[in-house]
Structure 1
Amino acid sequence: MQEKPASFSIKNWSQDDQPREKLLNKDKSTLSDAELVAILIGSGNRSESAVDLCKRILASVDNNLSELGKLSIIQLMEFNGIGEAKAVTIAAALELGRRRRGEEALEKNKITSSESVFELMQPIIGELEHEEFWIIYLNNSNKVILKNQSSKGGITGTFVDVRLVLKNALKVGATGLILVHNHPSGTLRPSKADKQITSKLKAAAESLDIKVLDHLIVTENAYFSFADEAIL
């Protein structure tokens, strides 16, 4: 059997072309997505370098890191050269990235628009395959006091306990509420039930001098704002 050339191994590449050395010696923004993932897995397989393997993995999800983050451990292990340890490492790194985005949005702390609500909540519920209903509790400066999952349901809906929502509002001293839930189907059109729960919460909150400022329907890449559409 003909031996593969020694230059095939990343270790034998020019240091300028080795992902780890590039990260150490150059700006991290110069590395491609494939090179960054290659650093995580460390090695490829008998016929591919780590970088080439990662290029193939990324190509399977149209080079979309968000889609890569949705792959299960088992799906990642279907690629030759990706064992359980490497798959777990990739999944963990992408989950950290998702959480970082959510924390960066929370650091801004003040809700200034429907877009700022979307940036805060999309990393949490935008990619879920089931529906969740969340309440963001605000003070009178529209700063986030608390964000809380009110309910978790199936593919088509959730149940929201109005009394519990208002109990929490009084407990944390909130003067404003923003309702947020996701649509796993991807549709941004509010359902009859969405409109009913909005009206019910708004009326109940007003009796306690608490304002429902908006209700967002969130999907993976977009959102619908009741306030922006003037139907709140």
Structure 2
Amino acid sequence: MESTTTIMLRDLPREERPRERMLRSGAEALSHAELLAILLVTGTRKESALTVAQRILGQTSGLRQLADMGIEELIGINGIGPAKAVQLKAAIELGRRMAVSRVGDRVVIRSPRDAAELLAEQLRYLQKEHFVCLFLNTKNQVIAQETLSIGSLNASIVHPREVFRAAIKYGSASIVCAHNHPSGDPAPSPEDIAITKRLVESGRIVGIDVLDHIVVGDGHFVSLKEQGMM
């Protein structure tokens, strides 16, 4: 019977280990697997952290799907327990927040592009549709952001009641809605248009304007307001 030899991190020369390489050359010099291995800290009895990281990236088809996985899904991967799953989700969330963080005053939404630039990097890589709202004050400054649904965008998932309950909670004067198309094509679907019109009508009733609905694709976006679809 043919035997296999597993190379553990301790078997590698110190200068080739991910942590040592980062200290020497900086984080940008590391591969996705090496960065992931540092977050995992340890591997399994039979695999090094780097081997586990390589396997995870292979199983999840890369970073995009990994970023979209929930904690329970991560725990289902061999080599990831609850502690490691939480560490990974924390790192992913920090990355998302860094991508949209701004220095100084609150972000002001003056155009569809402002909203798209704020949300695109969060949404463009997700493998499921995420419906997000930006909640604005009377000066069109963003006072809050919340993901209100995850999954296929339809009337049963995105309900005006949930949207405006959140808007009232934050004391919003207006809102901008956005969601991603995992296909990468931001062209609005008939469902997107129908939901937008329903939200606009509900907003008129409660006195909170729906300024726009942005559909984010891979590197592109569509404003339903600009397209005259709301």
* Shorter-chain TM-score tier: 0.5 to 0.7
Structure 1: stretches of 5+ with no match in the other structure: none
For 1:104 and 1:118, how far apart are their aligned partners in 2? 13
Give the number of aligned pairs.
217
For 1:118 and 1:107, how far apart are their aligned partners in 2? 14
Larger Rg: 1
**What does 1:1-232 align with in structure 2 at a 5 Å threshold?**
8-45=7-44, 48-62=47-61, 64-71=62-69, 72-77=73-78, 82-84=79-81, 88-102=83-97, 104-107=99-102, 109-121=107-119, 123=122, 127=126, 132=131, 134-140=133-139, 142-148=140-146, 152=149, 155=152, 156-157=154-155, 158-161=158-161, 164=164, 168=168, 172=171, 174=173, 176-181=174-179, 188-191=188-191, 193-201=194-202, 203-204=204-205, 212-218=210-216, 223-232=221-230
For 1:73 and 1:162, how far apart are their aligned partners in 2? 28
**CA separation of 1:92/1:220 partners in 2, compared to 1, >3 Å: closer, same or farther?**
farther
1:197 alignment partner AA:
R
Q: Tell whether the 8 Å contact from 2:196 to 2:213 is kept in structure 1 after alignment.
A: no
* 27-36 vs 188-197, greater mean Cα deviation: 188-197
Which deviations, in whole Å up to 9, do the C-alpha atoms of 1:126-151 show, x marking residues without a partner? Answer: 848576463522442x32123356x6
For 1:47 and 1:152, how far apart are their aligned partners in 2? 39
Give 1:19 deviation, angstroms: 0.7
Give 1:33 deviation, angstroms: 0.9
Percent of matched pairs sharing the same residue: 23
TM-score w.r.t. structure 1 length?
0.67
TM-score w.r.t. structure 2 length?
0.67
**CA separation of 1:102/1:222 partners in 2, compared to 1, >3 Å: closer, same or farther?**
farther
